[in-house]
């Protein structure tokens, strides 16, 4: 669990002592997907003479804005170093929006900034900002008192308001959900009941089956996008973690109806220029529209098979934004 509470710090000091080592730490197949992402960030910035460390929030001194200790990631482990550091930029990896985190990291260059993190990290919050383009949603507690989501014979999506694990996103019939209500008593106020959006219809050039389109953004810039699909045809979730696959999609080719929604989201979200996040949409034939699935303020990413670390657009634009705006 502790791992959820680290943050990656980018020190924007140009480190003269750093030499470009020959790939002895490079991505390997058997690395966990979370480690792959960290490794990519570390290696990419190393190419640009910027060193990236892991740190834990409990080591942060609020007055001095300095971390007492830092950690380096080597062969799957975080090794403590004696180096204390004032970071130039912080990738906050904490997905639960606690007020103390926003307070602690106030006045630092942190991604994502408080506004984006608050809206994105709590799916119920996201819904209130974007209800017109999201699946209709109610907290389980409200749903059980007064179901405004149609018929109990329908299937619903139930998911925790905070990211917990993709396996917690379930599809369940309304009647069954009612039967399970007492067992779920402890979770009434943190489970969201959502209209099930059928994403299994085609959209020209984008999808022919269950999918979602993830748009990576830095600030108000759309930097890369992927179309995700599950491998298993009976699966409704388009998560890579569920052994799905992703293909790169050129942002210039995203359809206009999707771009409109993306712009609406950005104009409400008001991201800072160095906020790195992603917005996931899926096309629903029944609504004949793109639906906002979620905003993710701690986006996971990897190299897709056709990419090398040198042409990763996500990394390139993060680096660009930091060099320009820090
Ligand atoms: N209301 C919904 N209707 C249909 N599919 C959904 C719905 N909500 C989520 N999904 C599918 O499940 C996946 C995971 O849900 P998401 O809300 O993104 O949770 P997580 O935070 O675990 O990624 C999404 O990528 C999407 O494919
Ligand atoms: Mg998701």
Query: How many whole angstroms from 212 Cα to the centroid of ligand 2?
Result: 9
The pLDDT value given to residue 7: 64
Pairwise pLDDT comparison (155 vs 308), residue with the higher score: 155
Q: Distance (Å, rounded) from C-alpha 86 to C-alpha 92? A: 15
In terms of C-beta density within 10 A (0-12 exposed, 13-18 middle, 19 or more buried), how is residue 156 classed? buried
Q: Give tens-digit pLDDT for 81-119.
A: 888 888 889 999 888 778 888 999 999 999 999 999 999
Chain mean pLDDT for the chain: 86
- Which secondary structure element, helix H or strand E, spans residue 285, and what is its range? none
- Ligand minimally distant from the alpha carbon of residue 157: 1
Percent over 70 (pLDDT), the chain? 89
The atom number, within ligand 1, closest to the CA of 123 reads 17
Per-residue pLDDT tens over the stretch 252-299: 999 999 999 999 999 999 999 999 999 999 999 999 999 999 999 999
Q: How confident is the model at residue 17 (pLDDT cuts 50, 70, 90)?
A: very low
Q: What is the mean pLDDT of residues 210-227?
A: 96
Q: Give the 3-state secondary structure percentages of the chain, helix then strand then coil, rounded to 5.
A: 30, 30, 40
Query: Position of tokens 């710090």?
Result: 9
How much distance in Å is there from the Cα of 72 to the middle of ligand 1?
33
Measured from the Cβ of residue 240, the count of other Cβ atoms closer than 10 Å reads 19
Q: Which two tokens stand for residue 250?
A: 């050129």
Task: Give which of 226, 174, 157, 238 is closest to 200, Cα–Cα.
Answer: 238
Q: Using H for helix, E for strand and C for coil, what is the string for 140-203?
A: HHHHHHCCCCCCCCCEEEEEECECCCHHHCEEEEHHHHHHCCCCCHHHCCCEEEEECCCCCCCE
Residues 21 and 71 sit within 8 Å (Cβ to Cβ)? no
Q: Determine the pLDDT at residue 326.
A: 87
Which pairs with CB-CB distance under 8 Å and at least 24 residues apart come from 182-187?
184/140, 187/140, 187/160
- Comparing C-alpha atoms, which of 73, 64, 76 is closest to residue 91? 73
Q: In which band, very low, low, confident or very high, does the pLDDT at 36 lie, cut at 50, 70 and 90?
A: confident
Q: Measured between alpha carbons, how far is 194 from 214 in angstroms, rounded to an integer?
A: 20
Other C-beta atoms within 10 Å of 311: how many?
A: 10
Residue 160's beta-bridge partner residues? 191
Beta carbons of 199 and 281 less than 8 angstroms apart: no
Give the pLDDT confidence score for residue 27 in this predicted structure. 61
* Minimum-distance ligand 1 atom for the alpha carbon of 197: 3
Residue range 162-181: average pLDDT?
88
Q: Which residues line ligand 1 (CB under 6 A)?
A: 135, 157, 159, 163, 166, 169, 194-197, 199, 212, 236-239, 280, 293-294
Q: For residue 20, what pLDDT is reported? A: 36
What's phi and psi for 113, nearest 5 deg? Answer: -65, 165
Q: What is the DSSP string of 5-67?
A: GEEEEEEEEE-TT-----STT---TTS-HHHHHHHHHHHHHHHTTEEEEEEEGGGEETTTTEE
């Amino acid at each position: 669990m502790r791992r959820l509470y680290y943050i990656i710090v980018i020190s924007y000091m140009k480190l003269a002592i750093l030499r470009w080592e020959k790939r002895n730490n490079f991505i390997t197949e058997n690395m966990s997907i979370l480690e792959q992402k960290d490794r990519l960030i570390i290696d990419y910035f190393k190419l640009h003479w910027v060193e990236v460390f892991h740190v834990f929030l409990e080591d942060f001194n609020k007055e001095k804005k300095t971390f007492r200790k830092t950690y380096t990631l080597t062969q799957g482990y975080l090794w403590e170093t004696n180096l204390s550091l004032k970071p130039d930029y912080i990738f906050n990896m904490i997905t639960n929006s606690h007020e103390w985190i926003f307070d602690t990291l106030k006045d630092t260059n942190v991604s994502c900034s408080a506004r984006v993190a608050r809206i994105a990290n709590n799916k119920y919050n996201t819904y209130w900002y974007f209800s017109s383009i999201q699946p209709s949603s109610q907290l389980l507690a409200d749903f059980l008192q007064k179901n405004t989501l149609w018929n109990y014979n329908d299937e619903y999506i139930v998911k925790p308001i905070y990211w917990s694990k993709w396996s917690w996103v379930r599809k369940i019939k309304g009647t069954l959900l009612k039967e399970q209500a007492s067992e779920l008593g402890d979770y009434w106020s943190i489970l969201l009941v959502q209209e099930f959006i059928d994403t299994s219809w085609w959209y020209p050039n984008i999808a022919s089956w269950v999918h979602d389109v993830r748009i990576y953004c830095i600030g108000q810039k759309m930097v890369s996008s992927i179309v995700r699909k599950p491998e298993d045809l009976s699966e409704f979730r388009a998560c890579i973690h569920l052994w799905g696959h992703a293909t790169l999609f050129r942002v210039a080719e995203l359809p206009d109806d999707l771009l409109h929604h993306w712009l609406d989201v950005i104009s409400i979200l008001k991201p800072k220029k160095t906020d790195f996040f992603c917005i996931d949409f899926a096309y629903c034939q029944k609504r004949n529209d793109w639906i906002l699935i979620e905003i993710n303020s701690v986006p996971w990413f990897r190299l897709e098979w056709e990419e090398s670390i040198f042409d990763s657009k996500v990394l390139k634009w993060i680096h660009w934004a930091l060099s320009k705006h820090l």
